Amino acid sequence: MNKVAFFDTKSYDKESFNKFENENIKIRFFENKLNIDTVSMARGADAVCVFVNDSIDKEVINELSELGVGHIALRCSGYNNVDLKAAKGKVKVSHVPAYSPYAIAEHTMGMILTLNRKLHRAYIRTRDHNFSLESLIGFDLHGKTVGIIGTGKIGCAMAEICRGFGMEILGYDPFKNSNFCGKNVDLDELFKKSDIISLHCPLSKENYKLINKNTIEKCKNGVFIINTSRGKLVDTADVIAGLKSGKIGAAGLDVYEEETEVFFEDFSDEIIKDDTLSTLISMPNVIVTSHQAFLTREALNKIAETTMENLESFFEGKELKNEISV
């Protein structure tokens, strides 16, 4: 029986993974995130299953290797939280390269529509029996220009949705995708011409804090910034400054630079100590969702199915087709 230590478990994780129960794999579910303080919980496991806010740095990888863990199975597509150089030769790493691009793209458009038409504010008003339309004016998406940074499967799905709204679509990606239905441009042109900028790219050294003071200055006045990818693609302090000055008209953030200790948890009875996050949440033209964009039944099932296939391939000594290496 092969044993897997499953970290950062939520109820929906158990529900989706239990559907793909395998008599050869025993999963131990832990609510704790994986980090240097919790890595000992993997003792006796042959593999660990981790998520976006687990910290798999060099120290953790060395400890996992010492414990005899041979596989890190990411149940997500991004892997910026894993030190791949440290893992080389010690432990194999796999991920879920694709689950539901539609889930992310649809959530992105939901944020745009909500911010534009002030649906979040209207909802609160009418619950207080306030039916005034003051300050709820939006704009037609039809004819506006959306700039999509990252034209992979999610970026393409987003472009198709925007095309349905009659929008002009610009895209930037260092790796061109023939399936992208918009016009490929360089970043400067995208920043200059876009009414809405939506991020759909993995985090790398090259695009760390891609949205910053300098790039924001290149944008149209009142630009919408939407990020459903990774928090550190955005310099949050610079975005807040842009929101305060009016340069940025609205921001939709499903991810946040310092989300690790906050997102996916319930702090409704506590005071948030993160002043930056508190500032964002207090702004009427900002929506923060807690890394929710992936959360559809279809996506959860695909994540569980692919992760279990990765684990089975590793345990059976087969080719690990979703392996990540450097």
Helices (H), 229-296: 236-245, 275-282
Query: 92 pairs with which residues across the strands?
Result: 71
Q: What's the mean pLDDT in 4-23?
A: 93
The ranges assigned to domains in the chain are 2-99+297-324, 101-288
Tell me which amino acid residue 141 is: L
Residue position matching structure tokens 């895209």: 171
pTM above 0.85, yes or no: yes
pLDDT of residue 260: 85
What gap in Å lies between CA 146 and CA 242, rounded to an integer?
19
Please tell me the distance from the alpha carbon of residue 253 to that of residue 291, in angstroms, as a whole number. 8
Three-class secondary structure of residue 46 per DSSP: coil
Instruction: Single out the residue of 238, 245, 192 nearest to residue 212, CA to CA.
Output: 238
Topology of the domain covering 2-99+297-324? Rossmann fold (3.40.50)
Helix, strand, coil: what percent of the chain each, to 5? Answer: 35, 15, 45
How many other C-beta atoms lie within 10 A of the C-beta of residue 301?
A: 17
Options 3.30.70.100, 1.10.10.10, 3.40.50.720, 3.40.50.1100; CATH for 101-288 is 3.40.50.720
* Inter-helix orientation angle 119-127/101-117, to 10°: 60
| Contact (CB, 8 A) for 206 and 246 | no
Residue 158: partners with Cβ closer than 8 Å, 6 or more residues away = 104, 105, 108, 109, 146, 148, 198, 200
Same fold, 2-99+297-324 and 101-288: yes
pLDDT band, very low/low/confident/very high, at 33 (cuts 50, 70, 90) = very high
Q: What does the radius of gyration of the chain's CA atoms come to, in whole angstroms?
A: 21
* pLDDT score recorded for residue 314: 96
Do 297 and 304 contact (CB within 8 A), yes or no?
no
Angle CA(178)–CA(181)–CA(185) in degrees, nearest 5? 80
For helices 101-117 and 153-164, the axis angle rounded to 10 degrees is: 40
User: What is the set of active-site residues?
Assistant: 230, 259, 291
How far apart, in whole angstroms, are the C-alpha atoms of residue 186 and residue 149?
10
| pLDDT tens per residue across span 92-127 | 999 999 899 999 999 999 999 999 999 999 999 999
* Closest C-alpha among 264, 325, 272 to residue 84: 325
Residue pLDDT, tens place only, 161-218 = 999 999 999 999 999 999 999 999 999 999 999 999 999 999 999 999 999 999 999 9
Tokens of residue 171, six digits: 């895209």
